[in-house]
Amino acid sequence: MTAQTSETISVTLAAKDYVQLRTQAGWRDINYLQLTDLYRLLVRMAPSFRGDVFDYGCGGAPYRALFKNCRQYVAADVTPGPAVNKLLGADGLTGEPEAHYDGVLSTQVLEHVPDAVRYLRECHRILRPGGKLLVTTHGFVEEHGCPYDFRRWTNRGLEVDVTSAGFRVEESGKLTTEVRAVCQLAHQLMLHLRCDGRPLVHYPLAVVRRLYFLLAMPVLNCFARGFEHQGLASATSDLTLYTGVFVLATKPPLSTEQSTGV
């Protein structure tokens, strides 16, 4: 997939359907399954966040409305947009005071960060002791530059990175697994059913692609609704095919010695 420029990203963020796509994806949307599963996770997690929350790499801040129990919701990104109220520095760091927030939200950002460990350490730095981090990212999906795309995670790999940054993992899991993952990946693979430079092959494939997205994709999305229990699986499950991963972690409270300065 071609990397997006800052200008095209800004246009995307300004589009009226940006939030709707991520919160109310339809059967005819290519990412219906993984966006629906991600949204359901956030619906479950968001009510537990209180105080001041920092959306680190917010994009169009599509999940802002879910964090209604919070005192303050700061949407931050490196690219300006209508929902962005804090512009990050060129280095991607927040510029926020240490121990300033009660929660950090990071949805589908980590794969676009050159130094994921540095990013997670910055999340740790700006959180108050006892503060929460909810991070979601990709498992097995195609490359999608925005403008860059650097890596993918297994569930265990994300746990290791979050723990290495100083957090204590409270819950982790897999999103869009097994049958739902197969359907989601089939949609993405169909985008690549092409043979540029060889018209006699390319155009018949283009017809197949068109028919797939017109007819087969909505049918498969509807079929996958029968497997909603595979939308979210715990880290301890034996499911090995999934398109997304998440970790909910906390910054450990200060020890007695640290809090008293001893």
Range with lowest mean pLDDT among 89-103, 142-156, 213-227: 142-156
pLDDT per position as a tens digit, 55-91? 999 989 999 999 999 999 999 999 888 889 999 998 9
The pTM (predicted TM-score) of the whole model is 0.91
Is 21 within a domain? yes
In a domain, residue 145? The reply is yes
**Residue matched to tokens 């949307």:** 29
pLDDT at 256 over 50: no
Name the domain count of the chain.
Answer: 1
Q: Tell me the residue type at 111.
A: E
**Element spanning 242, H or E:** strand 242-250
Whether residue 1 is predicted with pLDDT greater than 50 in this model: the reply is no
> Is 211 domain-assigned?
no
- The answer to whether residue 27 is domain-embedded is yes
For residue 117, give the CATH number of its domain.
3.40.50.150
Q: Crossing angle for the helix pair 217-224 and 178-190, nearest 10 degrees?
A: 170
**What range defines the domain where residue 154 resides?**
6-178+234-260
Residue 155 lies in a domain: yes
Pairing of strands 101-107, 51-56: parallel
**48 within domain boundaries:** yes
pLDDT tens digits, 87-98? 999 899 999 999
In a domain, 204, yes or no: no
Is residue 116 one of the residues assigned to a domain?
Answer: yes
Residue 187 CA neighbour count, 13 Å, CB half = 25
